[in-house]
Amino acid sequence: MRRSPIRCLARRSLRSLLLTALLSLLVPAAALAAGNGKLQIHHVDIGQGDGMLLISPLGQTAFFDDGNYLDCSGIKSYLQGLGITTVDYHFCSHYHSDHLGCIDDLAAIGITIGIAGYDRGYSYSSGTYTSYVNTLGAKRTTVAKNQVITLDAGSANPVTIKCVDLNGAGVYSVSGSDENAKSVVYKVTYGAFDEVIGGDLTGSVANGNDVETTVGPEVGDVEVYKVHHHGSRYSSNDNWLAAVTAEVGIIQVGNGNSYGHPTVDALTRLHNHGVHTYWNETGAGATPDPTWDKVGGTIVVQADPGAGATYTVAGSGFTDSYTNGGGGPVILTDTKVPSSVTMLRGTVTGGSVASLAANDASRMTVTAAKSGSTYGTDWYGSAVLAHPPVKLTLTYDGNYSVSRTQTLYLWNFSTGAWTQVDQATVSTSDVTRTYMTTTPGAYVSPAGEVRARVFANTRSSSYTCRGDYMAFTYDYQQGTGITVAVSDFHAIPDPEWEALHSTPPQGQIARLSAEPAADGVRLTWATDRHAHVDGFNVYRENAAGEREFAGNEAMLEVTSDDVVFDFTDHAPNANGTYWLGARSCAGPEGLIGPFHVAAGVAAGRVSLAAAPNPAHDGTRFSFTVEREADVRLEVFDIAGRKVATPFAGKVAPGTMSVDWALAKADGSRTPAGIYFARLEGPGRTLYTRVTVLDR
């Protein structure tokens, strides 16, 4: 692969950088050193999170989010490699920790925000949000809808960054619990080139947070789309994709993430809309299709401004070229006829489904069936489209032995019901009826099936329906196809992953201990390395038994297996009861607790473990205490309901093992899922997670 200009410039010596001193009045010298006359957008490989660096043609710089607080090494080393010490602007999409988690780490190594940091306003409760606010200080600025920030102002081809919409776009409440739905949508424009960057914006009607459908038309046509929410199934809906008509999608995703990103659902929609995707990492969901998808570490887009000019998308081992505007999609037309018919009322007494393939007076005859005192016909034909349609026309031609009121329907796969599309009086001569829609998505199944129903009103004596022709004519974009079934993506079949990928946030806790410390009460807990939990709140119970906020997490260390967190309460109350609130990126907070801690009780080391874990048939708990004590070992499900008490009693110093046959207190088998074992010992509480698999 040809060495990119940006890396050559990053290696320039200090002597050559000094030659640009006269221009430093316009932009920072280090940033100017990275300018190469093109718009550059570096989608940095930071794992599971968003972090992009924009470099204007003249060297001004901007962040769009800045990485995942669990591991800031990738974005730090990347910027250091470019020689950047100041970034002019910071644009935050929303307040989840995998989007604003590294701004303080960057500041700690001297990479600061020079002019302003823009976000959606309001506030949020997490340690990473607090660090973000403190790091920006007075430079933090609330962005407004339609506000435009200009880079390279005064040049022949400036770069504009427009806030298209934010805070739910009027269709999701700004006070709602889903932070993703409030994401700011930014549109970067450089002449005829556009990229849209919208954080984790949502598009699910079922979840009540479809903001994409509203914002998509406000964005309009773009060349590149930074794919929302790492390829979540609940984003990148058809309405959004039809509105922005992107050629390229960039998916910022990390290996081993706990959400199964990128998902088959999102990729299928992207492919069907002709979007070629580029991923930072392989992720933990669908397998990339080499026809559509490439994985290449940091993905760098470089663009020229002219209409019809080339822009490139480069990653490890490839550089692909596209064209601004691209001439628009090529629209083709195809026609499918039914491959099967289903009788809802009536019987085929002449011809067959093959008779419907041509308008040639070779008919399929359906004789009315009697129900009670009336006769009627009701049937539908099914066809399979080869491409996702952008326009669909139903044509039906036929007659009846006596005049009937004929009603045509299409099956709506979204609602699971028939939708009436036509009604007419039809007698003994053939009548051709048509219906056309430019929004056919709901009438086509993921496998491409469409269904048209022919219903006639009933009468007191028999009659026949004589269908001559049924056809589905549709327009589609060249290069799209309904060719990939869900199974073809080989989504991870591991039953443990299937059980965990939608786990509530408290289920991401691997282990926890609450114990007295010299300076108060200390809570230490760990999550899996790729748990992708947004943050934690710690609560203490007051004398009235009410939970009150005590503080947020501090991260101790990141290992190859897990991430360890810590919180010390320097002002514990006599009650000594705590709860941990684990927050997911979807908004809800999952509580785990209570933890009972007797401040000042010196009990020595206490430990708890379970093996095998995950467990198919049973597991053995091992715990250690260093002095004689009363202990209680209980098992709870993910909702906090007690399932079993494997042990309760006095133990001598040392290690003890207790077998649990995965049985509830009533002897029945516990279903597959996540459970917590809680050991209450001498003045402290320990938790460990146990995963139960199906036998």
Per-run averaged pLDDT (10 residues), the chain, 695 residues: 27 31 34 74 95 97 94 92 95 95 95 97 89 96 97 95 96 89 97 97 88 91 96 92 94 88 94 95 92 96 94 96 73 92 97 96 97 96 88 97 98 92 97 94 86 97 98 79 37 35 76 85 85 83 87 78 86 82 75 81 71 90 84 88 91 88 89 90 87 84
Summarize the chain as % helix, strand, coil (round to 5): 15, 45, 40
Cβ atoms of 384 and 485 closer than 8 Å: no
Domains of the chain by residue range:
5-330, 332-477, 496-692
Omega within 30 of 0 (cis) for the link into 305: no
List beta partners, residue 592: 580
Q: What is the DSSP string of 373-441?
A: TEEE-EEEEEEE-SS-EEEEEEEEEEEESS-EEEEEEEEETTTTEEEEEEEEEE-SS-EEEEEEES--G
Angstrom distance (rounded) from CA 505 to CA 523: 18
Q: Which two tokens stand for residue 679?
A: 């050991």
Angstrom distance (rounded) from CA 13 to CA 5: 15
pLDDT at 587: 60
Side-chain half-sphere exposure of 445, counting CA atoms within 13 A = 13
Token pair 């101790």: residue: 556
Angstrom distance (rounded) from CA 190 to CA 389: 31
Three-state DSSP class for residue 51: strand
Give ∠ CA 356-359-363 in degrees, rounded to 5: 50
Cβ atoms of 167 and 92 closer than 8 Å: no
What are phi and psi for residue 80, nearest 5 degrees?
-60, -35
pLDDT at 375: 97
Burial of 119 (0-12, 13-18, 19+ CB in 10 A): buried
Angstrom distance (rounded) from CA 508 to CA 580: 12
Three-state DSSP class for residue 217: helix
Specify the DSSP element, H or E, that contains 347.
strand 347-350
Full strand arrangement of the beta sheet holding 340-345? 340-345, 378-384, 449-456, 404-412, 417-426
Distances (CA, A) of 396 to 379, 435, 504: 13, 9, 50
CATH architecture of 332-477: Sandwich (2.60)
Q: Which two tokens stand for residue 378?
A: 């009701």
* Cα Dmax for the chain: 99
CATH architecture of 5-330: 4-Layer Sandwich (3.60)
Angstrom distance (rounded) from CA 19 to CA 490: 54
Three-state DSSP class for residue 451: strand
Distances (CA, A) of 488 to 267, 414, 483: 12, 23, 9
Sequence-distant (6+) residues with CB within 8 A of 494 are none
Angstrom distance (rounded) from CA 539 to CA 353: 67
Specify the DSSP element, H or E, that contains 278.
strand 276-279
**CA nearest to 318, candidates 1, 649, 582, 52:** 1
Q: Residues in the chain, how many? A: 695
**CA nearest to 464, candidates 372, 348, 342:** 348
**CA nearest to 234, candidates 590, 586, 588, 587:** 586
List beta partners, residue 251: 279
Cβ atoms of 551 and 508 closer than 8 Å: no
Three-state DSSP class for residue 301: strand
List beta partners, residue 52: 43, 64
Distances (CA, A) of 332 to 387, 390, 693: 10, 10, 49
**CA nearest to 422, candidates 412, 437, 433:** 433
Specify the DSSP element, H or E, that contains 44.
none
Question: Based on C-alpha coordinates, what's the Rg of the chain?
Answer: 31
Angstrom distance (rounded) from CA 260 to CA 285: 4
Which fold is adopted by the domain 496-692?
Immunoglobulin-like (2.60.40)
**CA nearest to 189, candidates 216, 236, 149:** 149
Specify the DSSP element, H or E, that contains 22.
none
